[in-house]
Amino acid sequence: MSSHVTLALNPAFRVAPVRRRTFGAFVEHLGRCVYTGIHEPGHPSADEDGFRTDVLALTRELGVSSVRYPGGNFVSGYRWEDGIGPAEERPARHDLAWHSTDPNTVGLDEFMAWVSKAGVEPMYAVNLGTRGIEEALDVLQYANAPEGIALSDERAANGHAAPYGISMWCLGNEMDGPWQTGHKTPEEYARLATETARAMRQEDPDLELIACGSSNSSMETFGEWESTVLTEAYDHVDMISAHAYYSEKDGDQASFLASADDMDYFIDSVVATADHVRAKLGRDKRIMVSFDEWNIWYQHRAESRPPSGDDWPVAPVLLEDTYSAMDAVVFGNLLISLLRHSDRVASASLAQLVNVIAPIMTAPGGAAWKQTTFHPFALTSRHAAGEVLDVRLQAPRFENARFGTSAAADAVATWDEEAGDLTVFVVNRGADAPLALDADLAAFGDLELVEALTLHHEDPYAANTQDAPETVTPAINDSVALTDGHLAGDLPAISWTMVRLARRA
Annotated catalytic residues are 174, 293
State the SS3 of 290-322.
EEEEEEECCCCCHHHCCCCCCCCCECCCCCCCC
Report d(CA 467, CA 480) in Å as an integer. 32
Q: Would you call 19 exposed, middle or buried from its count of C-beta atoms within 10 A (0-12, 13-18, 19+)?
A: buried
Query: Strand order of the sheet with strand 387-389?
Result: 14-17, 387-389, 409-416, 421-428, 495-503, 447-455, 475-476
Report d(CA 54, CA 44) in Å as an integer. 10
Report d(CA 369, CA 374) in Å as an integer. 9
Looking at residue 76, the DSSP 8-state letter turns out to be G
Report d(CA 355, CA 389) in Å as an integer. 34
The DSSP annotation for 101-133 comes to EE---S-HHHHHHHHHHHT-EEEEEE--SS--H
Question: Within 13 Å, how many C-alpha atoms sit on residue 446's CB side?
Answer: 2
Residue type, 335: L
Report d(CA 266, CA 338) in Å as an integer. 11
Q: Return all residues near 430 (Cβ < 8 A) that are at least 6 apart.
A: 257, 396, 398, 408, 409, 493, 494
**Type and span of the H or E element at 452:** strand 447-455
